């Protein structure tokens, strides 16, 4: 996974609460058995005027010119700012794969749905929680100022405006470590192999009916 | 020292290792797999040369993409076909049991698991599907994960997790006639909102929950995620134990007694402290109908479509967007909303009790001419078989419903069952998001009895009136 340390990027406002994973990537694209290639179908139903199909070349499809990411001034967006409960709904990691493939590196919102939030950290996309008031300000600024950019500094845990205004955010230590280093956490977990076996031996004594394959 | 909640008991007993930052390595007892969220996880194992840690801890079934018609002809959509075949190939390669499309046990993963006794009290259970909370009805910690975590659990039998806070939702008293578990959970979501449970594990308690069957408890826990909570759970009691006895994967013989004694301890201690407690009187809950594009946009069947959200500007904006998408005017009476399609099924309401409730309303009636399609999709092959033994299929067919093969079907419309743009559907599923049942489709979430009533009338009706009159 791509590491995340510092990032400066163009910001697009998604002025909605409860942006769900069906909106991020509609169900027909979940038929893919690949992990890549979802970017052209990010926000498919909002972005295009027709109904998209998996495997279809999107370059000739009619665009919804109203949709924020289709507007010329937001081309090259790498940071989204949206309202509360972003990523609610289905557990589909395809939603994060679509953001990542599109080029989004960070999403700022007052709150995120939990499964989506966890999925972000597996894919190098940084979910940043800032207060409702700050998010409202950022949505206004990204709407009103063309070419509005933000700096995200993960080591310092803050979002910085071009004027130097700083908004601090919280992140747990393990998430931060993995993002900074782009780590595959299966390797990290397997360093605890002995502890997992030990747990199984003990649990097989306590609840043997769950461990028919492991002698207690 | 204060007692422990049920969630804390199960969580604490599954900790392999605790890290300095408060996160833990949590042992995962069981994983359910389906075709949509597993291919990239198996591919990950293959690329890194890893094997599943414990093959028997996993069970797979294809449900999201399978056709509900003409199944003998296979899957006509080549992309869906490849995904279903990929699951079969991966399960064969990695030694994991899969119930294939022709197997009587095939069905929606959250119907199949409990039915087989794969789901048991006290377990930690995951699946690459947000409705995994369903299994919490058995007094288990069950939650949905993304594909990276599917792979992680396959490879290590663990996940790195942080403990959630505890919320207790108490539904006390007796439910009115015609009011069901679906109405309970929709009313809860209406009250606490779709993010109200974020960060919490919700234990559903109270006499009305105790009074529910396992099917009803599964419906309630299933939609915990629609209240923002990854985990919903119900304490173990005799109803739980009776349901599990004799299931194919339930413990047997001496181990059954041993398991039952352990399971009886799986309740919150009387002095356990919850971070948040919400109490709702069962008698206050009426049949619920969602009117918008989020499950929290819900009112009673005798209510009206609201215009604003009590001075909350952001929420009022979402209400207006939702009304536009749904093609509804504010202040419309719910019973004046007419339907194009009706869907009865899904991991929320595709179990035998749900089909019985819908059949009771449909019996001797006809689906309205206004309704183009009324689908009944059993949750599994075994539910279908049971319903046919009880003659429910014939009641539905006589009334003009279509009786289909098991799968997720029109809950998320990955197969051919879907809404066309602008079509309006009464659905027993769990999400009314924009485009969920087909691009431009408009979904109203209801209970099975309410869906059957709507199919017959062609618009929403208070199913309590029907039942009073029949």
Q: Which of B87, B146, B418 to mutate to test the interface with A (most CBs of A within 10 A)?
A: B146
Task: For an interface test with B, give the residue of A21, A189, A200, A203 to mutate (most B CBs within 10 A).
Answer: A189
Retrieve residue B92's tokens: 């064969």
The token pair at B297 is: 């946009």
A21-A26-A31-A34 Cα dihedral, nearest 10 degrees: -60
pLDDT of the residue at B469: 42
Does this model's pTM top 0.90? My answer is: yes
- pLDDT tens for B393-416 read 999 999 999 999 999 999 999 988
Q: Enumerate the residues of chain B whose CB falls inside 8 A of the CB of residue A111.
A: 195, 198
Query: How far apart, in whole angstroms, are the C-alpha atoms of residue B296 and residue B196?
Result: 10
**CA–CA gap between residue B378 and residue B381 (Å, rounded):** 7
Q: Is the pLDDT of residue B470 over 70?
A: no
Complex ipTM, two decimals? 0.94
CA B315 to chain centre: 26
Put simply, the answer to whether B435 touches A118 (Cβ < 8 Å) is no
B88, with CB counted inside 10 A (0-12, 13-18, 19+), is middle
**Mean pLDDT, range B15-29, rounded to an integer:** 94
Q: What is the 3-state secondary structure (H, E, C) of B202-231?
A: EEEECHHHHCCCHHHHHHHHHHHHHHCCCE
Give the span between the Cα atoms of B291 and B334, in whole angstroms: 8
Interchain CB distance below 8 Å, A33 and B40: yes
Sorted by where each begins, the domain ranges of chain A are: 6-210
What angle do helix axes B109-116 and B214-222 make, rounded to 10 degrees? 140
Distance CA B241, CA B367 (A): 39
Residues on chain A touching B318 (C-beta within 8 angstroms) = 16-18
Write the residue in B130, B156, B230 that is nearest to A90 by C-beta: B130
In the prediction, which pLDDT does A116 show? Answer: 98
Cβ–Cβ < 8 Å for B379, B406? yes
Q: Residue with structure tokens 């629609």?
A: B226
Residue A71 DSSP class: S
A 97-126 → B contacts, CB under 8 A: 111, 113-115, 118-119, 122-123
Task: Sort out which chain A residues have CB atoms less than 8 A from B314's CB and list them.
Answer: 17, 83-84
Give the span between the Cα atoms of B290 and B295, in whole angstroms: 6
Chosen for mutation from B57, B124, B130 (greatest number of chain A CBs closer than 10 Å) is: B130
Query: Of A30, A169, A12, A129, whose CA–CA distance to A76 is shortest?
Result: A12
In B73-129, beta strands by DSSP E: 97-99, 124-127
Query: Cβ–Cβ of A27/B412 closer than 8 Å?
Result: yes
Partners of residue B434 in chain A, C-beta under 8 Å: 20, 22-23, 45
Closest CA to B80 of B423, B465, B462, B417: B417
Out of B83, B120, B315, closest to residue A31 by CB: B83
| Residue of chain A nearest B225, judged by CA positions | A89
Q: Do A207 and B259 touch (CB under 8 A)?
A: yes
Q: What is the pLDDT of residues B242-301, one digit of tens each?
A: 999 999 999 999 999 999 999 999 999 999 999 999 999 999 999 999 999 999 999 999
Hey, which CATH number is domain A6-210, 3.40.50.300, 3.20.19.10, 1.10.8.50, 3.30.465.10?
A: 3.20.19.10
State chain B's mean pLDDT as an integer: 96
Predicted pLDDT of residue A215:
63
- Number of residue pairs across A and B with CB atoms under 8 Å? 186
Closest among B346, B328, B345 to B337, alpha carbons compared: B328
């Amino acid at each position: 996974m791509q590491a995340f340390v510092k990032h400066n990027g163009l910001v697009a406002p998604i002025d909605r609460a409860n942006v769900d994973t069906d909106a991020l990537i509609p169900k027909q694209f979940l038929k893919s058995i690949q992990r890549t290639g979802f970017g052209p179908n990010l926000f498919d139903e909002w972005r295009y005027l027709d109904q998209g199909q998996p495997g279809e070349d999107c370059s000739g499809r009619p665009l919804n010119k109203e949709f924020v990411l289709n507007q010329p001034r937001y081309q090259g967006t790498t940071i989204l700012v949206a309202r509360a409960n972003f990523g609610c709904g289905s557990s589909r990691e395809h939603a994060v794969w679509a953001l990542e493939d599109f080029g989004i590196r960070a999403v700022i919102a007052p709150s995120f749905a939990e499964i989506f939030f966890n999925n972000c950290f597996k894919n190098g996309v940084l979910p940043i929680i800032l207060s409702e008031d700050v998010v409202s300000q950022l949505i206004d600024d990204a709407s009103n100022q063309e070419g509005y950019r933000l700096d995200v500094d993960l080591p310092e845990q803050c979002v910085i405006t071009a004027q130097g205004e700083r908004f601090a955010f919280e992140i747990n230590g393990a998430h931060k470590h993995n993002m900074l280093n782009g780590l595959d956490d299966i390797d990290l977990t397997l360093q605890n192999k002995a502890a997992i076996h030990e747990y199984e031996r003990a649990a097989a004594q306590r609840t043997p009916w769950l461990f028919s394959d492991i002698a207690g | 020292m204060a007692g422990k909640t049920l969630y804390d008991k199960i969580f604490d007993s599954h900790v392999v290792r605790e890290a300095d930052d408060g996160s833990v390595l949590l042992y995962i007892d069981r994983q359910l797999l389906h075709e949509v969220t597993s291919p990239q996880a198996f591919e990950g194992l293959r690329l890194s040369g890893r094997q599943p840690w414990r093959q028997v801890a996993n069970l797979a079934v294809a449900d999201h993409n399978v056709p509900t018609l003409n199944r003998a002809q296979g899957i006509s959509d080549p992309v869906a076909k490849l995904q279903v075949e990929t699951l079969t190939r991966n399960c064969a390669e990695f030694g994991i049991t899969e119930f294939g499309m022709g197997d009587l046990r095939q069905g929606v993963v959250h119907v199949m698991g409990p039915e087989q006794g794969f789901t048991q009290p006290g377990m930690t259970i995951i699946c690459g599907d947000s409705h995994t909370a369903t299994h919490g009805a058995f007094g288990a910690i069950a939650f949905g994960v993304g594909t990276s975590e599917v792979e992680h659990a396959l490879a290590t039998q663990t996940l790195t997790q942080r403990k959630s806070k505890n919320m207790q939702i108490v539904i006390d008293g007796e439910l009115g006639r015609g009011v069901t578990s679906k109405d309970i959970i929709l009313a809860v979501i209406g009250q606490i909102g779709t993010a109200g449970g974020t960060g919490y594990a919700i234990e559903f308690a109270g006499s009305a929950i105790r009074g529910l069957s396992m099917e009803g408890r599964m419906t309630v826990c299933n939609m915990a995620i629609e209240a923002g909570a990854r985990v919903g759970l119900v304490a173990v009691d005799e109803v739980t134990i009776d349901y599990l006895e004799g299931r194919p994967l339930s413990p047997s013989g001496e181990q059954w007694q041993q398991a039952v004694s352990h399971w009886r301890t799986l309740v919150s201690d009387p002095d356990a402290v919850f971070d948040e407690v919400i109490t709702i009187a069962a008698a206050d809950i009426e049949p619920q109908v969602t009117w918008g594009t989020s499950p929290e946009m819900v009112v009673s069947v005798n209510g009206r479509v609201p215009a604003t959200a009590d001075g909350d500007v952001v929420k009022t904006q979402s209400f207006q967007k939702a009304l536009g998408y749904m093609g509804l005017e504010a202040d419309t009476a719910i019973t004046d909303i007419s339907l194009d399609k009706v869907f009865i099924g899904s991991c929320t309401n595709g179990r035998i009790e749900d089909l019985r409730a819908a059949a009771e309303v449909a019996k001797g009636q006809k689906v309205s001419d206004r309704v183009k399609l009324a689908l009944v999709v059993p949750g599994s092959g075994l539910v279908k078989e049971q319903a046919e033994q009880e003659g429910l299929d014939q009641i539905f067919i006589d009334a003009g419903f279509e009786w289909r093969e098991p799968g997720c079907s029109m809950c998320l419309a990955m197969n051919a069952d879907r809404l066309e743009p602008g079509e309006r559907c009464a659905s027993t599923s769990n999400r009314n998001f924009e485009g969920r049942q087909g691009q431009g489709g408009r979904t109203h979430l209801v209970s099975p009895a309410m869906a059957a009533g709507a199919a017959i009338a062609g618009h929403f009706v208070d199913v309590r009136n029907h039942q009073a009159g029949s």
